[in-house]
Structure 1
């Protein structure tokens, strides 16, 4: 037995010495014996001591300790010295070419240096050594995303989700679907993500924003409400919920939400833009301009803020100021027809008929769905004696209205705009074709009598419902993180909210 064995050795010193010689105590190799100490200081973030120990160990081993070089490279990366860390990771890969971790770190450093194609090669090499590594598949998807190879990116992200489900993989895959225009697939991805991680407020907010963009307000409100339940100070969800409340005219409730968001992000341009639009909806135009000017100061290249400033100045009949802001908005977003329409309204009131005509022509060229553009152009042409072209624009307006009715069963046309269209139709002697207005007998006779009482040459009112105010939903990020995912965690967080209110007509 064991006790007997020790008793025998104790009685025979010579035998004990012989045993120790034949079975010496194991010793760690010199290159590995202080790895544990390096690891302890690294995880405690005592980097100065860690680097001192690494320096001593590398001197003792002539630079052959793989783990010491590896940790030193990690520390250099944390210090922002990416190129130096890359060289050290390459040294680790030379010392141990069969290690997938070394190749992953080389690829990671290449990615941080913006060399995505080179990073992909190293990630593929690491994948040959370890096929079931979630990190490799996920980062391959990210690299392919940055070189705009969305097909391969989607493939590798799906592989990563099969290996292990992670929130940031779901977020990345959803963003790719959105970029290629596959909104339904993106929603499905985010739904799966919420099922896996039901308390992730970023996922809930993003899904709510997607439903808000599609006009599914009930589902949007549900997900945004869940996000606010887990994090009542989530400013992204607050901005989105407030934007939705503005859509339905609940300006006071939206303002209460924005007060909470203002504590978290007091320098958010979309927040001040939305507050300004709430004041605008309440017809407090001076306060609206003040808030919009602050949003413009914080984000001078945001065309939506400039658009809203132009809209408010038009409402206040400050046409020169409106022209200034609308021109700036057009320089930033020259593909929006409604901007040119508002510019034409300002020019009309500034008595610049030639440039107003050009602006209207550009507006109808760019806009393919908004009947308001064609109606205002028709009124402008009629007031300036060009009845033939006015009739063409009026008929184009009717075509767009029919198209909107066919695409949406819940489509409702603005009542004031319907009245103006009726008067315009009467003036052009095509009022009988206005089946889409469906006016009552009283209203029809009233409108006809009103139109008949107008003397020839009297200008019709124009600029009915000048435009649709723009509000933003959670497009501001207070602190943008650094690292692999910093560029794509902020997913699709800026949307335009339409139909907040109707403008009163101005007369030419």
Structure 2
């Protein structure tokens, strides 16, 4: 396959000669800010070390430290251990819907769809009108082949947020239920949503022709439909406003890839990587282009780096397996294919 921050402007009094000591944070929360900083930077080893100290200091009673430790374990593929820690969070703070949603998510990843539904339903009682809960309930019901409840929950999710993932899932549910006509209607509705979005982008650009965000979004939609030259014209305008934008250079690189200009694509993607070295999508694209050019060692390097940043995406392991196969490392290629299949189930 989603952190929020609040910026507060603090101003000291002009004639303050001595400032009082900063208020002591409760012992349970003293290192939460530091844990958060290292987690969002993907510095997981340091994060785990701070969490260990925090839990020792609080006798294992710090909810946030346990929560982040569980997130890291899940990223490492240790789903059962992650589940147990999220359950601990739910015991420490049973009124927090996020804790219950994470328990449900872990149960879903373990294939325990009925149990996941129970926790999502409990979370829904605490957090009404939550798109994520309704969408995930629909996904769980679809795995149980309860297509009626799946359709109901996905329609509720669409009322809350017309997300493309929900449109796609609802269409899939109709296909699985054998109702092709309804599936086509859902897909047409999704296309209509994108058409309206494109019209809104056009209006935004009419009022502000140099709006970088709108230009990038419009170019991305054109690029998705294969209009690479038109998208490139949009990106040229954006490049004048924000020449150091990683998403911009990533998209330009993939435009060149679509036009089969692979050397230019690699040049643009490497610029994006220089500007944003921890963006797994850029690394993924670099791996893909190098695979296409049959430069398998370079593809292995970039795909391996992408997997370190996003270890839960099966497609990355599949591409890595292709690179390994061409490097005559059959044993590790098989392992990569197996991991890709396991993540795709």
TM-score by length of 2: 0.54
CA distance in 2, matches of 1:37, 1:53: 8
Which of 186, 190, 206 is the matching residue for 2:187?
190
Q: Whole-Å Cα distance in 2 between the matches of residues 87 and 100 of structure 1?
A: 16
Aligned pairs (5 A) from 1:395-474: none
Q: Distance in 2 between matches of 1:139 and 1:165?
A: 14
**SS of aligned partner of 2:226:** helix
Aligned-partner SS, 2:27: coil
Q: Map of 1:26-105 to 2, 5 A cutoff?
A: 26-105=23-102
Q: In 2, distance between residues paired with 1:228 and 1:481?
A: 29
Following superposition, the deviation at residue 26 of structure 1 comes to 2.7
2:227 corresponds, among 226, 229, 232, to: 229
Pair 1:28–1:481, CA change in 2 (3 A):
farther
Q: Distance in 1 between matches of 2:56 and 2:132?
A: 33
Closer/same/farther in 2, CA of residues 50 and 172 from structure 1, 3 Å limit: same
In 2, the alpha carbon distance for the partners of 1:55 and 1:229 equals 51
- 2:245 corresponds to: none
**Are residues 94 and 226 of structure 1, via their aligned partners in 2, closer, same or farther at CA, if it must alter by over 3 Å?**
closer
Match of residue 112, structure 1, among 91, 109, 112? 109
- Conservation of the 8 A alpha-carbon contact between 1:120 and 1:140: yes
CA distance in 2, matches of 1:482, 1:134: 27
Counterpart Cα distance in 1 of 2:164 and 2:74:
25
Q: 1:63 to 1:174 in 2, by over 3 A?
A: same
Structure 2 equivalent of residue 166 of structure 1 = 163
Distance 2:93 2:152 in 1: 30
Matched, 1:133 2:130: yes
Q: Could you say which residue in structure 2 is the equivalent of 1:491?
A: none
Equivalent residue, structure 2, for 1:147: 144
Cα deviation, 1:115-171, whole Å, max 9, x if unaligned, reads: 000000000000000111110000000000000000000000000010111111110
CA root-mean-square deviation: 3.8
Question: Which secondary structure state, in structure 2, belongs to the residue aligned with residue 88 of structure 1?
Answer: helix
Identify the structure with the greater helix proportion.
2
Cα distance change, pair 109–170 in 1 and its aligned pair in 2 (3 A): same
Give ranges in structure 2 of 5+ residues lacking alignment.
1-13, 198-222, 229-253, 259-289, 294-338
**Relative contact order higher in (CA < 8 Å, ≥ 6 apart):** 1
Runs of 4 or more, structure 1, over 4 Å off, are 230-234, 263-266, 479-483
Residues 68-77 or 191-200, more deviating: 191-200
CA 1:176–1:157: 2 relative to 1, 3 Å: same
Give the superposition deviation at 1:481.
8.7
The reply on whether 1:175 has 2:172 as its aligned counterpart is yes
| SS, match of residue 125 in structure 2 | helix
Aligned mates of 2:186, 2:70 — CA distance in 1: 36
SS at match of 2:82: helix
Q: Is the 8 A contact 1:199 1:227 kept in 2?
A: no
Distance in 2, matches of 1:75 and 1:178, equals 36
Structure 1 partner of 2:251: none
User: Take 1:169 and 1:265, find their aligned partners in 2: how far apart are those partners?
Assistant: 32
Q: In the TM superposition, what whole-angstrom CA distance separates every residue of 1:404-429 from its partner, at most 9, and x where no partner exists?
A: xxxxxxxxxxxxxxxxxxxxxxxxxx
Equivalent-residue separation in structure 2 for 1:27 and 1:118 (angstroms): 41
Count of aligned residue pairs for this structure pair: 209
Gaps of 5+ in 1: 1-5, 11-15, 201-224, 235-262, 267-478, 488-508
Deviation per residue, 1:157-216 (Å, 9 max, x gap)? 00001011111111000011112222221111111112223599xxxxxxxxxxxxxxxx
How far, CA to CA, are the matches of 2:172 and 2:342 in structure 1?
Answer: 18
TM-score by length of 1: 0.37
Contact 1:82–1:113 (CA under 8 A) maintained in structure 2: yes
